[in-house]
Structure 1
């Protein structure tokens, strides 16, 4: 019977990277906003929780039937409302004799007993996560365990919410009780986690945000948010025949807005960073130097080539421009690669402008 659990666990391990990919961006934004940085222990716990929930779901719904027409040959009853029916099942199916302790070993070979153990263990991690990391009280942990178990049972009892004609697994009241008991057991065992992991209340002790370097990942997230917002402004001013249709909203967003907010764009605000110059107040010339070189010089060359290609400029003009762009891009790529491994990790436009990103 244990072999039946390997398939769902295997599917969970295979699909977890995809789920983690979509989970990562909102996870990082929340961590940056709430704590100002990403803690490794907190990341380990939350990604483990995500993997656990995915595995638990797959254990409940897999393997799927070969056809959606599951009513053919199905039982007329898809529910079991008798509490403690599992006790009768164990007595009936096992070879255990109460007065013969040597027969107790047979419990670990019988489906009915192993099913009970599985249903208890299924939500033990949930109770541990809720108490250790989220610091929830006993009542809330029990309620959450019962709620998740009820979700699983409804999912089974409705045939994956109507995907299948009839349920292919039983809605069992014993599962609700055993799952909830598992959550309660996890609550009781949660203090053991503090033997190997720090207490959640102390994860952020001794963290100095003013000395924490702003990672490239954090800057890329802010940049993605900024360009997503800027795309709507560009749409209002866009004129393929005039570079001002792109230059005006870019100048307003990346120069005037940071100047007015002392280094913040909407993207930087969301991930809790800002530009800092040489003094307490960011100067306009510092911003112009930073973004003028990056967007209007380097970016302007790329924009000019795109416009020239779309308007079918003569090859005498396009080919030299393409060669210049190629050389510029090669230099930029090499510069970025070298900067990643340098101690100060400052890009050229940061050095020239005397600006840097700091955590707020």
Structure 2
């Protein structure tokens, strides 16, 4: 993979993985700051993650496998002559438009400008700083990048393997300035108007599905973390665990433990963590038997089946997930399959008056 494509792949893949890791806290913060999660703010947040990783990837990657030969000559010397890129461009020839477009020195300078345009736009748009403030942030980030290259990633390498270039500082700062000037265009995107977080919102199908996704992510992440911890302990302590016992422990930690914790959570509060995050609560009698049924027909049963292993359990997990998703669109008030089975309705937790478990469910309209 070439030096242009590799950083782009790293930035996109890393941004998506980081977005998954931050998915639950992001949704929780958005519901408490804005009252809901908007599509445009979420896309902008993902773009910020990808761009931040792109800046890191394009300025540091590819990492050298060995710097012995390079460091024997003292490493890369810094380039401190401002405007040196123009000298290099003239040496390569500028006899016509085609030469200008194909000139490697001009291409490098233009790329460094373009790399920092999103930074200036994001800083001004999201932090409400002025043009000067966003440009100063771009200069500061560029200086940090160049010093990282000059110091060999802060002495991680014995010498500099990338060039400290003042022309890069100039190009990056110019890009940040251009982005700051273009930032007002981001305000034209819909769905960014400030909203009162304390005002109740309708219970929509997308909101219910978002809460279900939060439950699945939390259960899967908790199970994976528990299994990983067990594996680290076994390897670190040099334990010899029989394969059958090891599989049993992993199944217990990754499958049964998260589902059991979810059941205890439901018995104590009446709603799943996902419903807490998206600010929903059930309406109906929260008797223990109904809570268990709701757990089995919802995220708890899905997690048990999905992590039990391949085969029939996995097929049943898929069927349960499809049924749960379809029922969100087809049941009254988007309450979904588990709440339908136990006779509960779902409402926004900002609606005053009702407390989970008090009173009968809402009458059918």
Corresponding residue number in structure 2 for 1:275: 281
CA deviation after TM superposition for structure 1 residue 120, in Å:
1.4
Distance 1:300 1:25 in 2: 18
SS of aligned partner of 2:330? coil
In structure 2, the partner of 1:95 is 93
2:170 corresponding residue in structure 1: 177
Quote the Cα distance in structure 2 between the aligned partners of 1:18 and 1:118: 26
- Cα shift at 1:185: 0.9
Q: Which residue is 2:130 aligned to?
A: 137
- Alignment partner of 1:160 out of 153, 164, 182: 153
Q: How does 1:192-341 map to 2 (within 5 A)?
A: 192-194=185-187, 197-198=189-190, 200=192, 202=193, 209-213=200-204, 214-219=207-212, 221=214, 253-255=265-267, 257-258=268-269, 269=276, 271-277=277-283, 285-288=285-288, 290-294=290-294, 335-336=323-324, 338-341=326-329
CA–CA separation in structure 1 for the residues paired with 2:263 and 2:75? 69
- How many matched pairs? 303
Mapped partners of 1:69, 1:166: distance in 2? 9
Secondary structure, aligned partner of 2:134: helix
d(CA) in 2 for partners of 1:300, 1:53: 36
- The answer as to 2:339 corresponding to 1:350 is yes
Give 1:21 shift: 2.5
Paired residue for 1:65? 64
1:293 aligned counterpart, secondary structure: helix
2:36 aligned partner: 37
1:118 is aligned to 111
Provide closer, same or farther for how the CA distance between residues 157 and 111 of structure 1 changes in structure 2, counting only shifts above 3 A: same
Q: CA RMSD in A?
A: 4.5
* SS at structure 1 position matched to 2:201: helix
Question: Which residue pairs with 2:230 in the alignment?
Answer: none
Give me the whole-angstrom Cα distance separating, in 1, the residues matched to 2:160 and 2:171: 21
TM-superposition CA deviations, 1:305-352 (whole Å, max 9, x none) = xxxxxxxxxxxxxxxxxxxx99x9899667536524524343455233
TM-score between both structures, scaled by the size of structure 1? 0.66
User: For 2:263 and 2:27, how far apart are their aligned partners in 1?
Assistant: 28
For 2:261 and 2:141, locate their aligned partners in 1 and report how far apart those are by CA, in whole Å. Answer: 48
Note if contact 1:31-1:38 (Cα within 8 Å) is conserved in structure 2. yes
Match of 1:17 in 2: 16
**Which structure would you say has the larger Rg?**
1
The answer to whether the 8 Å contact 2:120/2:179 transfers is yes
Gaps of 5+ in 1: 97-101, 229-247, 279-284, 302-324
- Partner of 2:68, secondary structure, is coil
Give the whole-Å Cα distance in 2 for the aligned partners of 1:9 and 1:265.
38
Q: Helix, strand or coil for the counterpart of 1:123?
A: helix
Tell whether the 8 Å contact from 1:86 to 1:112 is kept in structure 2 after alignment. yes
Q: Give the whole-Å Cα distance in 2 for the aligned partners of 1:6 and 1:118.
A: 14
In 2, Cα distance between the equivalents of 1:332 and 1:166?
A: 57
- CA drift at 1:168: 1.1
What is aligned with 2:359?
none
* CA shift digits 1:27-78 (9 cap, x unpaired): 2232223223221111111112222222222221223324243544544563
Cα distance, 1:154–1:95 mapped onto 2, change above 3 Å: same
Separation (CA, whole Å) in 2 of partners of 1:24 and 1:331: 25
Q: CA deviation at 1:144?
A: 1.7
Equivalent residues of 1:287, 1:353 under 8 A apart = no
Q: TM-score, normalised to structure 2's length?
A: 0.65
Where 2:169 maps in the other structure, the secondary structure is helix
Contact 1:286 1:355 in 2 (8 A): no
Correspondence for 2:55: 56
CA 1:273–1:290 in structure 2 vs 1: closer, same or farther (change >3 Å)? farther
